[in-house]
Structure 1
Amino acid sequence: MNKSLIFYNRIGFLTLLHREIHRFMKVYVQTILAPLLSSVLYLGIFGGMLQTREVGIEGVNYLYFLVPGLATMAAILSAFQNPAFSIIVQKFQNTVQDLNSYPISDIEKALAFILGGTFRGLLVGSLTYLATTFFVGHVIQYPLLFVLSLTITSFIFASIGLITGLLLDSFEKMNFVLALIITPLTYVGGVFFEITKLPGVLSKIRYINPIYPLVNITRYTYLGVYEGNLQLQLLAATIFIIGFFLAAVYIFKKGYGIKID
């Protein structure tokens, strides 16, 4: 068999994918319910305090503006954490080298970890939306595109999570990336307020913030309105999904964080 094929061993690939999904489903209180509760609290606090706040997008209530941002943020954080945590746990247990002996291709290994994170991100993001319906009702313009947008967002950040897990060797370093890079980028990425309302240089961060176009695309699928140039944001999302996936596969193939020197 040619290991350069994408699906060299379908059964092995599905087994690894099942393991990744089963791993976080076993502790669903931490991996699903906790981020879901956090999103609902965000909606309750920000929505309750700022529900009369005017949004720069005409005809949009602040609560409706907030929902797609929260769903996207929940998907991003969950998708990132899943493969990053999984790889670093295996490093901590000194079992990560076992990945070298799996009879599946490097693409299959990387894809299994990424799809496991994608599933978790999509699940938490979708449940976040469903939870918000108790507050704002079933307001959604393009349901299938909404799910697709959350899926793409989750895939991108699951790829980033895999890269992080491979390159870093401790939970402290992973949490540094999560707490001091990804989380702040969500706060200035249009989750809670329009980017145009940010003062000075903060409003320019959107040009280098990968979270902003993803939040805006999800908001469009939810409300049918958006900020900025949607076509450029779709192009950016396409570049992100291809670029980060290929980077994750390359790093996995090179054995960074897996092979013993």
Structure 2
Amino acid sequence: MKSQPLPPLSHNSSKPIKDPQLPTILADSLTVFWGEWLKLRSRIVQIASTGLISPLIYIFAFGLGLGGVLDRAMKPPVGDNYLEFILPGMVALSSMTISFGGTTFSICGERLFTKTFEEILLLPVHPLALHLGKMLAGIARGLMTSGSVILVAVLFTGKIGSFLNPLFLLLLTLNCAVFAGLGVIIGLRVKSLESVGLYNNFLIVPMSFLGGTFFDPTTLPVALKIIVYCLPLTYTSVGLRAAAYSSLSQFPWYSLPILLIAAIALSVAGAYQFSHQQD
């Protein structure tokens, strides 16, 4: 009797692994993340400093340059001056940029250049575990870089408790999760690095300026306010600013479930993409 050939160890078929258990998915996610961490830990200083350039330029140009003029004309809604007002936005901006860009380029490098991505697809784990593992690596990248910006913010303001409190760090982690999850999906879909540049130019760069990093979204006209509040970075910027300078009674608690739901939705989409990936 002829033996039947064994099926390939891949989950690219339309049927994902049956009846996955949540503890198993979480354990496999940590395993995937550990593989990513082994590559990241040798470049901690490089990753932490990569996302500092743009926030520092904005801090000096807007916070110290333009901010001096604005402080004489008006008082910001929160914070003692305009520099303090934009610092939480700079933290949000740096975490978004590196979580998205680092994750996207990492996956693109594995898919298009080193050709090692096929090894990941052969792992006998649930697609959600693959997405979460990659997303955790993106969160780590974002926290490293935003940690450097937080250090700069503390040096400028001297307010350690404002930038190192649990609510501030929770919002920051959720923001990293949202954009790392988005980075995983884009990294799986693009066909070239030029495509990554298009997503960055038409999605990340506009969001950097429209996501409430430099202004108070509540002061906008209704039409613009609708657009701005469709961006996840807006909820992070507003939430971080409130967590840093306002009382708990003034904190926009709606920002937490919105970012969490966005991260979960992106995780579902990323798991689906992994289960149908054909690299």
TM-score (norm 2): 0.81
Q: Confirm or deny: 8 A CA contact 2:44 2:144 kept in the other structure.
A: no
Is it true that 1:64 corresponds to 2:84 in the alignment?
Answer: yes
- What does residue 200 of structure 2 align with? 178
Tell me whether 160-169 or 29-38 shows the greater mean CA deviation: 29-38
1:80-159 equivalences under 5 Å are 80-92=100-112, 93-138=114-159, 140-141=161-162, 143-159=165-181
Counterparts of 2:78 and 2:146, CA distance in 1:
26
1:36 corresponds, among 52, 55, 59, to 52
Q: Deviations over 1:27-65 (max 9, x none)?
A: 445422121243223212211112332344166421111
1:212 corresponds, among 229, 234, 243, to 234
Counterpart code for 1:77: T
**Relative to 1, partners in 2 of residues 1:84 and 1:7: Cα closer, same or farther, differing over 3 Å?**
farther
Counterparts of 1:146 and 1:36, CA distance in 2:
19
- What does residue 78 of structure 1 align with? 98
> Where in structure 2 are there 5+ consecutive unaligned residues?
1-16
Counterpart code for 1:78: I
Counterparts of 1:136 and 1:229, CA distance in 2:
21
3-state SS of 1:169 partner: coil
Percent identity, aligned pairs only? 26
Counterparts of 1:246 and 1:169, CA distance in 2:
22
Counterpart code for 2:134: F
- What does residue 185 of structure 2 align with? 163
Q: Confirm or deny: 8 A CA contact 1:68 1:222 kept in the other structure.
A: yes
3-state SS of 1:26 partner: helix
Displacement after TM superposition at 1:200 (Å): 7.9
**Relative to 1, partners in 2 of residues 1:3 and 1:114: Cα closer, same or farther, differing over 3 Å?**
farther
Counterpart code for 2:84: Y
**Relative to 1, partners in 2 of residues 1:171 and 1:225: Cα closer, same or farther, differing over 3 Å?**
farther
- What does residue 5 of structure 2 align with? none
- What does residue 243 of structure 1 align with? 265
Counterparts of 1:55 and 1:108, CA distance in 2:
47
Count matched residues.
256
Larger radius of gyration: 2
- What does residue 51 of structure 1 align with? 67
3-state SS of 1:128 partner: helix
Counterparts of 1:191 and 1:14, CA distance in 2:
32
RMSD over equivalenced CA pairs, Å: 2.7
Q: Deviations over 1:177-203 (max 9, x none)?
A: 112211211201111122245578544
Q: Confirm or deny: 8 A CA contact 1:5 1:105 kept in the other structure.
A: no
Displacement after TM superposition at 1:229 (Å): 8.9
Counterparts of 1:238 and 1:129, CA distance in 2:
22
Q: Deviations over 1:178-231 (max 9, x none)?
A: 1221121120111112224557854442132221112111111111179x9924
**Relative to 1, partners in 2 of residues 1:3 and 1:169: Cα closer, same or farther, differing over 3 Å?**
farther
**Relative to 1, partners in 2 of residues 1:24 and 1:55: Cα closer, same or farther, differing over 3 Å?**
farther
Counterpart code for 2:103: P
Q: Confirm or deny: 8 A CA contact 1:146 1:221 kept in the other structure.
A: yes
